[in-house]
Structures are given as structure tokens and as C-alpha cells.
Amino acid sequence: MLWVDINQNFGEQTEFLLPFLITVFLVWLILVIFSYYRNGLKKTIMYFLPMIIIALFIESAGVASGRYNYPGYILYLSVVGGGVPLIIILGWSANLFLFFNMSKHIVLNVYQKRNFLQIFLISITAGVIAVCLDLLEDPLAHYNNWWIWKESVGGVKFYEVPLLNFVGWFFLIFFMSLSTLLIERSKFTDNRKLLISITSISITGSVILAVHGLFSRILQMIGLA
């Protein structure tokens, strides 16, 4: 089921892949180290590992379905048929940690009450921040072939990047932030939180796929995807 592949032709078909990889790896490393010193080992695993697993499944399914692919990377992992670069999966975990923490700083300045509404607002804001950054990153990634969207993918596009990609970014970060914050603020012990964060991936992943699938249908019906 899980396979690992090492590509001998690093950078093939791509432009400026190395600086992109260094950037993603540095960001991931800085955030993991910072989280380790700020939150400890268990919470750091709780913040990063679930997103790594869920990104592996979603990205692998995305590649296997033939909508996009990742040429020229070094180390690929696959769980359901599509090879995904390890660095992309690590990048997703850094994205989640970065966006929901930035979002906390925004929301807590305007709404201090510690309740579900606050968690919901933090998650929505995290999703919006993700889309804001992706509007910068994704067109450049497609242009430099860091990942390639197939031309057969139709609908509204922003510099060759389909609208559904941004919808996917929003839902993935929104639901993962929601799940992470709900577990983080529960009254369980840290060990239990860590276990729940891993086992609940199946629930969060199913919700993400169902909501995104439904939203895609709606966008297709009105001709936007």
C-alpha cells in the first residue's frame, strides 16, 4: 500500500525548484523547533503529524486521479497510487501550524471569549489566510512546474490554476484547524489528545472529502468548475 520512490533526475522539467524546496524545508524546520520549545514534544506531534498523514492521503489521491503531478522532486511517497514528494507533505503541516496560529492572533484581538464561536472564527480565518498565500504561490508553482495542473481540468482559472484548488486549500486548512483546536482545547490529558488527533484523521478526512465533493458539484452545476 505504501511505497517510497527516489527520483534520480532532480529538477527535471522544473525551474527554480531548489530554492522552493529550501524555503519549504526551512519554514517547516523553524516551526517544528519553535513548537517543540513552546509546546513540548507531544503537542508538536499533535500539531504536525495529523496534517502530514491527511495531506499524504489527499495529495496521493489527487495525483492518482490524474488532475496534477509533481515532476522533478527527490523523495516520493504514495499511499493510494499517486506519488507525492515528501517535502510537499511537510509543507502542508507547516502551513496548518502557521495559518491557525496567525489566525489566533487576528481573532483574539477582536473576540476574546473562549468558546466554539472563537474556534470557528479562528478556523475560517486560517482558511482565508491559506487562500491569500496560495493565490501568490500556486500560479508561480504551476508556471515553474513545481506541480502541473492538467489542461483537462476545466472551469474558472487564476493564471492556469483551477478555482477548485483554492476551494480545496480553504476546506483543508479550515477543517484541520477546527479539528486541531477542538482537540487542543479539550480537557483530556496530553497523551489522550495526541492519540485522538491521530485517530480522528479518518473523521476529518471524510468530512473534508465530502464537503469538497459537494462544493465541487455545486461549482460544476453553475459552470465555475
Q: Pick between residue 61 and residue 86 the one whose CB is nearest to other proteins.
A: 61
- Can you tell me which of 2, 8, 113, 136 binds other proteins, judged by CB under 8 A? 136
> In 3-state terms, what secondary structure has residue 186?
coil
> In 3-state terms, what secondary structure has residue 68?
strand
Instruction: Return all residues near 130 (Cβ < 8 A) that are at least 6 apart.
Output: 95, 99, 169, 170, 172, 173
- Can you tell me which of 56, 89, 164, 178 binds other proteins, judged by CB under 8 A? 164
- Determine the straight-line distance between the first and last CA of the chain, rounded to whole angstroms: 31
104 binds other proteins (CB under 8 A): yes
CB 18 within 8 A of CB 11: yes
Would you give the DSSP letter of residue 222?
A: T
The one-letter code for the residue type at 60 is S
CB of 105 to other proteins, least distance (A): 6
Q: Pick between residue 85 and residue 168 the one whose CB is nearest to other proteins.
A: 168
CB 172 within 8 A of CB 93: no
Cβ atoms within 10 Å of 158's Cβ, excluding its own: 14
- Can you tell me which of 41, 75, 199, 218 binds other proteins, judged by CB under 8 A? 199
- Can you tell me which of 137, 149, 157, 224 binds other proteins, judged by CB under 8 A? 137
Q: Pick between residue 74 and residue 80 the one whose CB is nearest to other proteins.
A: 80
Q: Distances from the Cα of 30 to the Cαs of 22, 71, 106, in angstroms?
A: 12, 26, 21
| Interface positions, 65-94, toward other proteins (CB under 8 A) | 65-67, 80-81
Residues engaged in binding other proteins (CB under 8 A): 1, 15-16, 19-20, 23, 26-27, 30-31, 34, 38, 58, 61-62, 64-67, 80-81, 98, 101-102, 104-106, 108-110, 114, 128-129, 132-133, 135-137, 139-140, 143-144, 159, 164, 168, 185, 187-189, 192, 195-196, 199-203, 205-206, 209, 212-213, 216-217, 220, 225
